Amino acid sequence: MADDTDAGTPGTPEIPAANGADSSPQVGIIAQYVKDLSFENPNAPRSFQNAAQPQIEVNVNVQARRQGDDVFEVDLKIECIAKGDGQTAFVIDLLYSGLFGLRNIPDEALEPFLVVEAPRILFPFARRIIADASRDGGFPPLLLEPIDFATLYMAQRDAQLDAMEQPVGQA
């Protein structure tokens, strides 16, 4: 019979710490909630008489903050502006947040989780709220395309690195 005390050998189970503490990474969703929701229809009823397909502009922002030991709040802010024939049809502003419990996460993995994985978890719920808000405002449901938060994170990180490498006095 094989000795089960070979922790670290591929294919063998990890032995928990003697005091019962678990040192493996753990992630949990504590809560999800709407922090702020706004729907504006500034040109009603004219906005309903416009037969042209509106142009939709979508802006997304992610922020994360520590709320306590092993607890982080992630805000997913989505702004949608629909314009047609030079006038605004509607504006939706949503600030959807989640509280995440993170334990034993390595420092180098913390930021990528908070700005990539956490918003990816929150997005489907925010997407539904936006679709409902546009429909309840008298328009067809606005179904946002999935967002690649990893690509956005990498682009933002690359832009920050480029800005740091520019000589002083250049913009």
- C-alpha to C-alpha distance for 93 and 77, rounded to whole angstroms: 7
DSSP track, 34-99: EEEEEEE-TTTTHHHH--SPPEEEEEEEEEEEEEETTEEEEEEEEEEEEEETTEEEEEEEEEEEEE
Residue 159: its pLDDT value, please? Answer: 82
DSSP, res 145: P
Residue 1: its pLDDT value, please? Answer: 47
Mean pLDDT of 148-158: 88
Q: In b/e form, how buried is each residue of 126-153, taking b as 16+ CB within 10 angstroms?
A: bbebbbebbeebebeebebeebebeebb
Q: Return the higher-pLDDT residue of 16 and 114.
A: 114
Q: What are phi and psi of 141, to 5 degrees?
A: -60, 130
Which tens digits make up the pLDDT trace of 62-106? 999 999 989 999 999 999 999 988 889 999 999 999 999 999 888
Residue 81: its pLDDT value, please? Answer: 97
* Cβ proximity of 80 and 57 under 8 Å: yes
Residue 89: its pLDDT value, please? Answer: 92
Does 112 have pLDDT greater than 60?
yes
**CA 91 to chain centroid:** 20
Does 3 have pLDDT greater than 60?
no
Instruction: For residue 158, name the pLDDT band (cuts at 50, 70, 90).
Output: confident
Q: Return the higher-pLDDT residue of 150 and 14.
A: 150
CATH of domain 28-141: 3.10.420.10
Q: Where are the domains of the chain?
A: 28-141
Which tens digits make up the pLDDT trace of 13-65? 555 555 556 678 889 999 999 999 999 999 888 888 777 788 999 999 999 99
Is the whole model's pTM more than 0.95, yes or no? Answer: no
